[in-house]
Amino acid sequence: MRKPSITISSTDHEALTRIANGLMDTRPVLAEALIGELERARVVRANSVPARSVQMGSIVDYRTADGTTRRVQLVYPAEADIAQGRISVLTPVGTALLGLSVGQSIDWVGNDGKKHVLSVIAVEPGASAIPGGK
Protein backbone atom coordinates (compact mmCIF):
# COMPACT_ATOMS: atom_id res chain seq x y z
CA MET A 1 0.00 0.00 0.00
CA ARG A 2 1.15 3.49 -0.82
CA LYS A 3 2.30 5.42 2.28
CA PRO A 4 3.77 8.80 1.29
CA SER A 5 5.93 10.83 3.62
CA ILE A 6 3.94 12.94 6.08
CA THR A 7 4.68 15.89 8.34
CA ILE A 8 2.94 16.57 11.66
CA SER A 9 3.42 19.40 14.12
CA SER A 10 4.94 18.47 17.47
CA THR A 11 1.81 19.83 19.18
CA ASP A 12 -0.51 17.57 17.17
CA HIS A 13 1.88 14.64 17.53
CA GLU A 14 1.89 14.95 21.32
CA ALA A 15 -1.90 15.29 21.62
CA LEU A 16 -2.59 12.44 19.19
CA THR A 17 -0.09 10.16 20.92
CA ARG A 18 -1.95 10.72 24.21
CA ILE A 19 -5.28 9.91 22.54
CA ALA A 20 -3.92 6.78 20.85
CA ASN A 21 -2.31 5.51 24.05
CA GLY A 22 -5.59 6.09 25.89
CA LEU A 23 -7.41 3.90 23.36
CA MET A 24 -5.07 0.90 23.50
CA ASP A 25 -7.25 -1.05 25.95
CA THR A 26 -10.68 -0.20 24.53
CA ARG A 27 -10.09 0.31 20.78
CA PRO A 28 -6.72 -1.22 19.92
CA VAL A 29 -7.26 -1.29 16.13
CA LEU A 30 -7.91 2.46 16.02
CA ALA A 31 -5.03 3.15 18.40
CA GLU A 32 -2.58 1.06 16.38
CA ALA A 33 -3.58 2.68 13.08
CA LEU A 34 -3.01 6.16 14.50
CA ILE A 35 0.23 5.19 16.23
CA GLY A 36 1.49 3.73 12.94
CA GLU A 37 0.96 7.06 11.22
CA LEU A 38 2.50 9.00 14.10
CA GLU A 39 5.58 6.77 14.10
CA ARG A 40 6.27 7.29 10.41
CA ALA A 41 5.67 11.05 10.48
CA ARG A 42 8.33 13.70 10.33
CA VAL A 43 7.62 15.80 13.44
CA VAL A 44 8.35 19.53 13.25
CA ARG A 45 7.64 22.64 15.34
CA ALA A 46 4.22 24.15 14.66
CA ASN A 47 5.76 27.16 12.90
CA SER A 48 7.70 24.83 10.56
CA VAL A 49 4.76 22.80 9.25
CA PRO A 50 4.42 23.07 5.47
CA ALA A 51 1.53 25.44 4.69
CA ARG A 52 -0.23 23.00 2.38
CA SER A 53 -0.15 19.96 4.68
CA VAL A 54 -3.07 18.44 6.58
CA GLN A 55 -2.88 19.16 10.30
CA MET A 56 -5.51 19.00 13.00
CA GLY A 57 -8.15 21.60 12.17
CA SER A 58 -7.20 21.76 8.49
CA ILE A 59 -9.89 22.03 5.84
CA VAL A 60 -9.09 19.53 3.11
CA ASP A 61 -10.36 18.96 -0.42
CA TYR A 62 -9.60 15.45 -1.63
CA ARG A 63 -10.49 13.25 -4.57
CA THR A 64 -11.22 9.53 -4.39
CA ALA A 65 -10.20 6.98 -7.04
CA ASP A 66 -13.65 7.18 -8.64
CA GLY A 67 -13.28 10.96 -9.14
CA THR A 68 -15.57 12.04 -6.28
CA THR A 69 -14.35 15.13 -4.44
CA ARG A 70 -15.04 15.95 -0.81
CA ARG A 71 -14.31 18.90 1.46
CA VAL A 72 -13.81 18.05 5.14
CA GLN A 73 -12.21 19.41 8.26
CA LEU A 74 -9.90 17.08 10.21
CA VAL A 75 -10.80 17.29 13.90
CA TYR A 76 -10.37 15.61 17.26
CA PRO A 77 -13.06 13.04 18.12
CA ALA A 78 -15.07 15.38 20.39
CA GLU A 79 -15.51 17.85 17.51
CA ALA A 80 -16.56 15.32 14.87
CA ASP A 81 -19.84 15.93 13.04
CA ILE A 82 -20.07 14.23 9.67
CA ALA A 83 -23.14 16.29 8.72
CA GLN A 84 -20.99 19.43 9.11
CA GLY A 85 -18.04 17.88 7.27
CA ARG A 86 -15.92 17.55 10.41
CA ILE A 87 -14.28 14.14 10.41
CA SER A 88 -12.44 12.60 13.34
CA VAL A 89 -8.78 11.76 13.05
CA LEU A 90 -9.80 8.38 14.49
CA THR A 91 -11.76 7.42 11.37
CA PRO A 92 -9.87 5.52 8.66
CA VAL A 93 -10.10 8.46 6.23
CA GLY A 94 -9.13 10.92 8.98
CA THR A 95 -6.05 8.92 9.90
CA ALA A 96 -5.18 8.59 6.19
CA LEU A 97 -5.37 12.38 5.65
CA LEU A 98 -3.18 13.30 8.63
CA GLY A 99 0.09 14.91 7.56
CA LEU A 100 -0.45 14.61 3.80
CA SER A 101 0.38 17.52 1.51
CA VAL A 102 -1.33 18.81 -1.62
CA GLY A 103 -0.64 16.46 -4.51
CA GLN A 104 -0.03 13.39 -2.38
CA SER A 105 -2.13 10.22 -2.58
CA ILE A 106 -2.55 7.42 -0.06
CA ASP A 107 -4.06 3.95 0.00
CA TRP A 108 -6.18 3.19 3.06
CA VAL A 109 -8.59 0.53 4.27
CA GLY A 110 -12.08 1.72 5.16
CA ASN A 111 -14.48 0.43 7.79
CA ASP A 112 -15.90 -1.69 4.97
CA GLY A 113 -12.59 -3.61 4.78
CA LYS A 114 -11.98 -2.41 1.22
CA LYS A 115 -8.89 -0.62 -0.04
CA HIS A 116 -9.48 2.99 -1.07
CA VAL A 117 -7.27 5.68 -2.57
CA LEU A 118 -7.51 9.41 -2.02
CA SER A 119 -5.51 12.36 -3.32
CA VAL A 120 -5.25 15.72 -1.56
CA ILE A 121 -6.12 18.58 -3.91
CA ALA A 122 -6.24 21.55 -1.51
CA VAL A 123 -5.55 22.34 2.16
CA GLU A 124 -6.53 25.40 4.16
CA PRO A 125 -5.68 26.08 7.77
CA GLY A 126 -8.78 25.72 9.90
CA ALA A 127 -9.92 26.93 13.26
CA SER A 128 -7.81 25.80 16.17
CA ALA A 129 -8.49 22.22 17.10
CA ILE A 130 -8.97 21.09 20.69
CA PRO A 131 -5.90 19.06 21.69
CA GLY A 132 -6.75 15.94 23.60
CA GLY A 133 -10.45 16.02 22.70
CA LYS A 134 -12.22 12.66 22.93
Alpha-carbon distance 116 to 103, whole Å? 16
Q: What angle do CA 91, 2, 103 make, to 5 degrees?
A: 85
Q: For the whole model, what pTM was predicted? A: 0.89
Q: How far apart are the first and last CA of the chain?
A: 29
DSSP string, 86-121: EEETTSHHHHHHTT-BTT-EEEEE-TTS-EEEEEEE
- The answer as to whether 54 is a domain residue is yes
* pLDDT tens, position by position, 20-59: 999 999 999 889 999 999 999 999 998 999 989 999 999 9
- The answer as to whether 31 is a domain residue is yes
What CATH number is given to the structural domain containing 40? 3.10.50.30
- The answer as to whether 132 is a domain residue is no
Total number of domains in the chain: 1
- The answer as to whether 134 is a domain residue is no
